A and B are shown apart, each in its own frame.
Chain A
């Protein structure tokens, strides 16, 4: 079956702008998690959505928000972009049960100038 997909793959924005990233999970998966990946910082958890509800949230400012649709596709929005938001944003999907494998998308590389 098709894997997790993310669009767009690359983005260049300027400070102060906003951006929306999209993630389509594997068919049948109801959980989507979002991560920010920067060199040396590993994977920083942003939030997780399950059945259209935010189930978990990391320690990111309110400029980072997300939502999930009834077909489990998820979007992440970052408002008022800062230079430090430049990173690879990964989403991962799963069925949403405990202790299960997360399947990652290819990521969206965001560059803020």
Chain B
């Protein structure tokens, strides 16, 4: 079946450094790729998304890049801060209304 692989499962970076999380999807028809952030004990919230007609999207310190040929997309966080510590989930659209999710990356920001 269709799947999304997400790496790494845990990422530890020094405060102020950059963090990169990568996802690979299997369905070549996928055309919508959101990223959600889930802080400890809280609900997942959308932080950024990208559609297949663009290769990159930025929002302040976060950016997402998409390589349709290789079927992978990545989340980039620059100048990391303690509040960036959370679990990040990538997802890819399956059909028109369904998402298939990666297993999550726990991002740890070291002071």
A: which residues have CB within 8 A of B? 4, 31, 33, 35, 40-45, 48, 50, 55-56, 59, 90, 96, 98-99, 101-102, 104-107
Question: Which of B6, B44, B95 gathers the greatest number of chain A CB atoms within 10 Å?
Answer: B44
What are the residues of chain A within 8 A of B45 when measuring CB–CB? 104
When A98-B32, A105-B43 are in contact, do A43 and B101 touch as well, CB less than 8 Å? yes
Would you list which residues of chain B between 55 and 111 have a CB under 8 Å from chain A?
89, 91, 93, 95-104
Residue of B nearest to A107 (CB): B43
Contact of A98 among B9, B91, B96 (CB under 8 A): B96
* CB pairs A–B below 8 angstroms (27 shown): A4-B43, A33-B98, A35-B101, A40-B103, A40-B104, A42-B89, A42-B103, A42-B104, A44-B101, A45-B99, A48-B98, A50-B97, A56-B95, A56-B97, A59-B1, A90-B44, A96-B97, A98-B32, A98-B93, A99-B31, A99-B49, A99-B93, A104-B43, A104-B44, A106-B42, A106-B43, A107-B43
Contact of B46 among A31, A33, A102 (CB under 8 A): A102
Are the C-beta atoms of B97 and A31 separated by less than 8 Å? yes
- Rounded to whole Å, the gap between the CB of A29 and the closest CB of chain B is 13
Are the C-beta atoms of A90 and B98 separated by less than 8 Å? no
Contact of B34 among A40, A55, A101 (CB under 8 A): A101
Contact of A41 among B1, B49, B95, B103 (CB under 8 A): B103
The answer to the question of B22 belonging to the interface, with a C-beta cut-off of 8 Å to chain A, is no
What are the residues of chain B within 8 A of A48 when measuring CB–CB? 97-98
The answer to the question of B7 belonging to the interface, with a C-beta cut-off of 8 Å to chain A, is no
User: Once the chains are docked, how many angstroms separate the CA of A35 from the CA of B43?
Assistant: 12
- Rounded to whole Å, the gap between the CB of B38 and the closest CB of chain A is 9
Are the C-beta atoms of B43 and A102 separated by less than 8 Å? no
Contact of B101 among A40, A45, A50, A59 (CB under 8 A): A45
What are the residues of chain A within 8 A of B32 when measuring CB–CB? 98-99
